[in-house]
Amino acid sequence: MSGLSSMITSGNGAGLIWIMIIIPVILAFLTLIIPKTAYIGRAIALLVGVIFNFIAAIAVFSTQEITMLLPWANFEMNLAFRIYNFSGFIVLAISVFALLIAIYSVAFMRNKNESGQVFFFYLLTVALANGAVLANNFVIMLFFWEALLVTLFGFLIINQKKNVKTAVKALVLSGTADLLLMLGIALTVYQAGTLSMDAIVDLPISGIGVAGYICLMLGAIGKAGSMPFHSWIPDAANDAPLPFMPLLPGSMEKLLGIYLLVRVSYNFYNLQPETGVSIAVMTIGAVTIILAVAMALIQKDMKRLLAYHAISQVGYMILGIGTALPVGLIGGLYHMINNALYKSCLFLTAGSIEHRTGTTDLRKIGGLAKVMPVTAVCFIIAALSIAGVPPFNGFFSKELIFDAALESGWIFYAAALLGAFMTAASFLKMGHAAFFGKENAPADAVKKESPPAMQLPMIILAAGCIIFGVCNFIPVKLIFQPMFADIVGSHNFAGWPHSATLVLISCIVLLIAVLNHIYGVKKTGQGLGAVDHIHYAPVLHSIYNGAEKRYFDPYEWLMIVVKIYAYISFGIDRAINWIYDVLLVKIVSFVSARLRMANNGSPARYMVWSFSGVAFIVVLFIALM
């Protein structure tokens, strides 16, 4: 109540922040109100929202630093926002992906009943993500960040009126991560004595700081979809409406999660190389890379395969950032934006195939390059990027991360290389199976290229993969290095990688992947079987079997623990209830039965009762006197 009118801002254009949050929310409700028959109205509302957001984001990115403080609730829970180069860049990146995927979705969702709900959650997600990135107060950040759970849950129940297991799984896993974030914020705020994010600088990671850092870090990587918070993503690939995968696990969640991880590790806390915490973070990254990509290798469905890559790639970013070296930080950020480009492009190509053939099951499709040339070319560019082939963008960012990993320990470098091998192998398999070989498609498939509105976003994203690779000075030297000038110093990581040896090793790994592919195709006679010799190798076979049966799914483990725990506590509860319902009743009836026996109606007995009572009182009085 106090001070509602006193808004403190510095710099111009604080209104931008409101535009980025409120306009999408208003348009979101508009899409919900517009009836199904007026699809064009829904589409316009969505497009207006994302275009407006894009323009505002450009304005945000090009302004100087702006801070805004609007006193709101007590205990320093102020509506505080801050635009500066890092948050401005993330907001811009989100708006670009939101715009491109929206154009694509408008074409894709036509004639689908759920379009209103999809667009509603789409715009809401954009607004909340903007708020989470721009917030300069921990509570406000958490407010927007956790509210994304609602849209996540909403997206996942739209298609699944009958089977909502994935939505529950996503909400439980992400909710756990967010609650850890809440705890981390509480511990951090306790140490720093303020909720204002820009006032928390370089806390030491020691004592309670270790707990604070780890909780914040887990919250951040949980949003990014790292292990152990990952297992809903492959399930969502099959169950969610199409725009969901490129928008959230494909790009936005990575941007948000890595944004927070970087801020936690380099702003709020001071992560030092070769400390236990740094090694822990790198280990999470390395494990995520290998396990997720190993699962991707054997998938037979395009979207599910890509979903595992969405998990695996975040491992590279965490590994790079976890090294706490300048090269790792820049590599991780660069990989974040590269991954968003090629991963959303890949999801869109899979959607393009689904649009025309009605399936993304690699066993049912094949040789589509002829009928869908644009989709095929975009896929190939994005696949080469994710596989780390020069001169596409993924190559350069991976090299930076390799560099950082090797400096931090050869085991991390080896893990990253193994991941690179499996990434390349799985994309050779998927590309081969979907676009080359014998032509194959379901009988009801429409054998032509997707409409231009779906082609355009794919082409732009694929072009982005090339530009950010060939002209890597744009993201590295012009954007990321100035943001972290105090950490990077005079280093320059743009241009061709410094170490020729590392590049050579990477190329050898790629070559091995190609040879492996040729061997596998020869052996089974089809592109889809290219990695069967790995899948069905003696020991791996049983491990893969277990993994496919979800024996290693942390969510399943959590649910087992929860179930056992629930039965134990239910037992405790019933035992306590037994005391009330049975034991007490028994005691009372036992005692009253005894008392009843004493009152048997005999006058003599009552006389004895009376006299002994009087005698007792008399004795008591005498004793007291």
Partner 1 sequence: MEGQGIIFICIFVPLIGAFLLPIIGRFMPRLRNILALLFVLTAFISAAIALPQALSGTPILWQMELPLGFTMGFLADGLAVFMAMTSSLVASIIVFYSFGYIEHYPNQNEYYMMVVLFIGSMMGLVFSTNLLLIYLFWEISAVCCWRLIGFYRGKDIVLRADKAFLVTVGGALLMLIGFISIYVQTGTFNLLDMQGNAISNAAMVLILFGILSKSATLPLHTWLPDAGVAPSPVTSLLHAAVLVKIGVYVYARLFLVNFQLDAVWETAVPVIAGVSALVSAGAAMIETDIKRIIAYSTISQLGFIFLGLSCGTMVGAAGGLLYILMHSLAKGGLFLCAGIVEHSTHTKDINKMGGLAKCLPITAVAFACCAFSVMGIPPFGGFFAKFMVINGAATSASPWVSVIFIIGAVMTIIYLLRVFIKVFFGEITHPDIKEGSWEMVSSVSILAALSLLGGIFINLPSYVTTFIIESLGRW
Site of interaction with partner 1 (CB under 8 A): 1-2, 4, 72-75, 77, 139, 142-144, 146-147, 149-150, 157, 160-164, 167-168, 171-172, 175-176, 179-180, 182-183, 185-187, 189-190, 208, 562-563, 565-570, 572-573, 576-577, 579-581
Q: How far is the CB of 562 from partner 1 (least distance, A)?
A: 6
Q: How far is the CB of 176 from partner 1 (least distance, A)?
A: 5
- Distance (Å, rounded) from C-alpha 95 to C-alpha 74? 32
SS3 369: coil
| Residue 615, number of CB atoms within 10 A of its CB | 10
Q: How far is the CB of 470 from partner 1 (least distance, A)?
A: 42
Q: Taken in order 28, 30, 32, 34, is the CA torsion positive or negative?
A: negative
Between 1 and 625, CB nearer to partner 1 = 1
Between 186 and 504, CB nearer to partner 1 = 186
Q: How far is the CB of 485 from partner 1 (least distance, A)?
A: 34
Torsion of CA 371, 338, 240, 42, to 10 degrees: -80
Between 212 and 246, CB nearer to partner 1 = 212
- Does an H or E element contain 108, and which? helix 85-108
The closest of 156, 142, 340 to 249, measured between CA atoms, is 340
Q: How far is the CB of 138 from partner 1 (least distance, A)?
A: 9
Place of tokens 């037992």: 571
Give strand ranges (E) for 116-224.
Answer: none
One-letter amino acid for residue 297 of the chain = L
Tell me if 269 sits within 8 A of 307, measured CB to CB.
Answer: no
Between 160 and 270, CB nearer to partner 1 = 160
Q: How far is the CB of 137 from partner 1 (least distance, A)?
A: 12
How long is the chain? Answer: 625
Give strand ranges (E) for 152-202.
Answer: none
Q: How far is the CB of 162 from partner 1 (least distance, A)?
A: 6
- Distance (Å, rounded) from C-alpha 380 to C-alpha 376? 6
Between 126 and 462, CB nearer to partner 1 = 126
Between 18 and 143, CB nearer to partner 1 = 143
Radius of gyration of the chain (CA): 30
Between 156 and 400, CB nearer to partner 1 = 156
Between 9 and 160, CB nearer to partner 1 = 160
Between 2 and 602, CB nearer to partner 1 = 2
Q: How far is the CB of 336 from partner 1 (least distance, A)?
A: 25
Q: Is the preceding omega at residue 391 within 30 degrees of 0, hence cis?
A: yes
Q: How far is the CB of 81 from partner 1 (least distance, A)?
A: 16
Helix, strand, coil shares, percent, the chain, to 5: 75, 5, 20
Residue 196 — φ and ψ, nearest 5°? -75, 120
Q: How far is the CB of 145 from partner 1 (least distance, A)?
A: 8
Token pair in block for residue 189: 């705020």
Q: How far is the CB of 211 from partner 1 (least distance, A)?
A: 9
Tell me if 516 sits within 8 A of 430, measured CB to CB.
Answer: no
Torsion of CA 402, 407, 411, 414, to 10 degrees: 20
Between 561 and 607, CB nearer to partner 1 = 561
Q: How far is the CB of 31 from partner 1 (least distance, A)?
A: 17
The distance from CA 92 to its chain's CA centroid, rounded to whole angstroms, is: 19
SS3 472: coil
Q: State in Å, rounded, how far the first CA of the chain is from the last one.
A: 67
Between 71 and 315, CB nearer to partner 1 = 71
Place of tokens 């990115």: 61
Between 550 and 574, CB nearer to partner 1 = 574
Beta partners for 196?
137
SS3 66: strand
Q: Is 13 exposed, middle or buried (0-12, 13-18, 19+ CB in 10 A)?
A: middle
| Residue 600, number of CB atoms within 10 A of its CB | 8
- Distance (Å, rounded) from C-alpha 506 to C-alpha 311? 21
Q: How far is the CB of 72 from partner 1 (least distance, A)?
A: 5
Q: How far is the CB of 585 from partner 1 (least distance, A)?
A: 10
Between 181 and 291, CB nearer to partner 1 = 181
Distances (CA, A) of 609 to 297, 424, 613, 614, 618: 90, 97, 6, 9, 14
Token pair in block for residue 355: 């649009």
One-letter amino acid for residue 58 of the chain = I
- Distance (Å, rounded) from C-alpha 419 to C-alpha 317? 13
Between 162 and 448, CB nearer to partner 1 = 162
